Amino acid sequence: MSGWHHRHILDLASFSRDDFASILELAQRFRSLPVTGVRKLPALQGRLVATLFFEPSTRTRSSFELAAKRLSADVMSFSPSSSSLSKGESVLDTARTYVAMGADVLVVRHRSTSVPQQLAADLDRLGERTVVLNGGDGLHSHPSQGLLDLLTLARHFDAQKPTPQALAGKKIVIVGDILHSRVARSNLWALTGCGADVVLCGPRSLLPEDFAAFVDAPPPGLSCDPVAQRGRVTVERRLEQALPGADAVMTLRLQKERMTQQLLTSLERYHRDYGLSHARLQLCGRQVPVLHPGPVNRGVEMTSRLLDDPSICLVEEQVRNGVPVRMALLYLMAAAESAAESSLVSISS
């Protein structure tokens, strides 16, 4: 892990294949720790992690808090509805309040794109040592979700050795509301960064044609791509074209709260054209896993029967993998700050 150089974790566009490998390796090690008995590791003892979620969350927030506790950090959470935001306090001043209380890590979610990035820049400008971890910003990025999806897929393809190589050359189909999905954007960087080919599938209103070129230009703010050879991205309009030969299928929540205009005729029509079911998955030609970041609109993105079939649907496995992935992220950020490589040795034995 000595090559880890990210101070803040804001997106996956700046991750190299070695970065993905480091996260997968460490998360796999955390994942294999016993889940009963003594569950805590001392790695973040004396550290303070604050979860500043300005937008609702069930999975991400709980998972980060559990991950921080499993590493023995102190955890503070913030609830917008009962906070001084209602008195007009700004996001930056809210964050600075937690920094003043000694927060080492701020996990930040906001409905507006770039709020975590802006906070990270402000903290750097102010000379604060606190680091920012993006818990999801607007339509832009959800790095920890992209990484837990990566671990889930890598483990599906090679449970013993879930490395980026496990994904190389695989065909991953992402279906649905790509336009409003920060999960899709993070997955595009992560999956192509590990050499997988991604087929995006959805109606024009939810999947603009230019997504086919999403990873072609160097990531924003970088002069060159940190990944030498990415997988390809293609766009298909019909599942009948997208699914044959797929190795895995990810479907995304229709984000009605982010749709500013009528983009769909009806949910029934959407389900008929893009909803996943056991029957429809036969188009893949063999049994393949289905992922969904949650929360799921039952009967819209997939049938209830498929959602409740753990032999195909990996939604609960994704949630389980979220904890070790977030432990890995918190651990690496703390280790980068204090070069605490010695405690890494103690968890590997």
- Which residues of this protein are in contact with ligand CP, per CB under 6 A? 57-60, 136, 145, 293-295
Nearer to ligand CP, 123 or 189 (CB): 189
Length of the chain in residues, anyone? Answer: 349
130 versus 318: smaller Cβ distance to ligand CP:
318
Q: H-helix or E-strand containing 123?
A: helix 115-125
CA distance 198 to 214: 11
- Cβ partners under 8 Å of residue 231, min gap 6: 168, 169, 191, 192, 194, 195, 196, 197, 198
- The residues facing 76 across adjacent strands are 50
Say if residues 109 and 57 touch (Cβ distance below 8 Å).
yes
Smallest gap from residue 317 Cβ to ligand CP (A): 13
Q: How far is the CB of 252 from ligand CP (least distance, A)?
A: 10
Quick one: 136 or 219, whose CB is closer to ligand CP?
A: 136
86 token code pair: 């209602």
Distance, in Å, from the CA atom of 27 to the CA atom of 109, rounded to the nearest integer, reads 22
Report the C-alpha gap between 120 and 85 in whole angstroms: 19
Minimum Å gap between C-beta 118 and ligand CP is: 20
Taking the least distance from each CB to ligand CP, the nearer of 20 and 64 is 64
Pairwise CA distance, residues 110 & 115, whole Å = 6
Q: Which amino acid is at 136?
A: G
Give the dihedral sign, CA 72/136/300/236: negative
d(CA 19, CA 140) in angstroms, rounded, equals 20
Q: For ligand CP, give the closer residue by CB, 227 or 313.
A: 313
Nearer to ligand CP, 130 or 187 (CB): 187
Tell me how far apart the alpha carbons of residues 10 and 106 are, in angstroms, rounded to a whole number: 11
Instruction: Name the minimum Å distance from CB 49 to ligand CP.
Output: 16
Q: In DSSP terms, which residues pair with 175 in a beta bridge?
A: 201, 251
Write down the least CB distance from residue 213 to ligand CP, Å: 26
* CB-based contact 227:250 (threshold 8 Å): no
Task: Output the smallest distance, CB 184 to ligand CP, in A.
Answer: 12
Of the candidates 243, 234, 249, the residue with the CA atom closest to the CA atom of residue 302: 249
How far apart are CB 182 and ligand CP at their closest, in Å? 9
Whose Cβ is closer to ligand CP: residue 16's or residue 57's? 57
Minimal distance, residue 298 CB to ligand CP, in Å:
15
By beta-carbon proximity to ligand CP, the closer residue of 295 and 310 is 295
**Which two tokens mark 98?**
């937690």
